[in-house]
Chains A and B, each alone.
Chain A
Amino acid sequence: SQQGEEDPQALSIQEGENATMNCSYKTSINNLQWYRQNSGRGLVHLILIRSNEREKHSGRLRVTLDTSKKSSSLLITASRAADTASYFCATDAATGRRALTFGSGTRLQVQP
């Protein structure tokens, strides 16, 4: 199975609400990254959190990392219709393959 698995697979919220997406992974990591993909486009890097960090903020994004549980969450506060996209976590494994492994993604729909 994939290194990163997102939960939920799909999420629909109203504009102004917060959106939380979760990611679980299996192996030790150097860092974990979140990406966004609009329909028909390439992925865009959002934020990177290192294995020795527990929380990181960037604008309306807040990422947490719990290496003991091998899980991460992405919180988007005060969501906007423009946040509608798919969101992927990606892990940089500490050993073995030296390329990011992407999860299956969460499709976020923000209703105006």
Chain B
Amino acid sequence: QVQLQESGPGLVKPSETLSLTCTVSGGSIGTYYWSWIRQPPGKGLEWIGYIYYSGSTNYSPSLKSRVTISLDTSKNQFSLKLSSVTAADTAMYYCARTISGYCQFDYWGQGTLVTVSS
């Protein structure tokens, strides 16, 4: 059974960089896409971007200038960096395995809440 677990600071200061890691267990990170999705408190879901096991990436146009997603196959992990954060970036951040056919997210982490505040 594939499991994903997000980790990283729960509090980030405005203008700084948010950094999260997703650790994948129960399966290899190879041959799949891996996504980050976020959800502001009380609001809907927003896709941030994904990375393929080869290292190729695709980001949301609205976040592209601030987002970097990277992969560490030796650790079965992938990571998110979001720069120049503001209060609008406060959200629950989820990582998810992504199936290439229809980009469906079939396994999700439990999510980690990141608050942007000084």
Query: Do the two chains bind?
Result: no
Which of B's residues lie within 8 Å of A, judged by CB?
none
Which of A's residues lie within 8 Å of B, judged by CB?
none
